[in-house]
Amino acid sequence: MSTTAVSVFDYLHTAYRPDVDYVDGDIEERNLGEYDHARLQGLIYAYLLTREKQWGTITLPEQRVQLSPTRFRVPDITVVRERPKTGIITEPPILCIEILSPEDTHKRLRARIDDYLGFGVPFVWVIDPEDRRGWVYTPEGAREAPGGVLSAGDISVPLAELGE
């Protein structure tokens, strides 16, 4: 992970490929997944996307979420109830999903989860693509997904039913 100090203005007016997090003046490169990460992200995105009408949701891959005036995160997948008023989500999503990459550290992952929950996101999912285990984080605490089924209110994803 590398960091570079820049202003919010510069962050918002620079195209990063892939996109990066902005945390209190520092640009933080996101750990990019390999095949297993990318494949699982695609499968979960497709599963959620095909159920948007049923759940009244909008599913967005790698969408910027502004958590505070100086803090932006880019979850692997974000789920909201309505279209953001601007190009960046500024209201708490109903769900942020992070899929682990081999380079992810516990400290860095915990900071992301704490940021989402502190912003008011009611559900954060963390999924390990290697063994398809998932954890649900809420303001009340964390738990491993029972039976491999991740849930967030009326939204649920059975990891075992997703393709390989």
E strand or H helix that includes residue 16: none
CA distance 97 to 117: 12
Answer whether residue 18 is part of any domain: no
Tokens of 70: 């100086």
Answer whether residue 93 is part of any domain: yes
pLDDT for res 17:
74
Answer whether residue 72 is part of any domain: yes
Which residues are CB-contacts of 39 (< 8 A; sequence separation ≥ 6)? 129, 164
**pLDDT tens, N- to C-terminus, the chain (164 residues):** 455 678 888 788 778 777 777 777 777 777 666 888 889 999 999 999 999 999 999 999 999 999 999 898 999 999 999 999 888 999 999 999 999 887 777 888 999 999 999 999 999 999 999 888 999 999 999 999 988 899 999 999 999 888 77
Q: Domain total for the chain?
A: 1
Range of 118's domain?
32-161
pLDDT for res 1:
47
Tokens of 74: 């880019």
What's the predicted TM-score (pTM) here? 0.88
Answer whether residue 125 is part of any domain: yes
Query: Of 13, 6, 9, 10, which Cα lies nearest the Cα of 28?
Result: 6
Query: Of 110, 98, 121, which Cα lies nearest the Cα of 31?
Result: 98
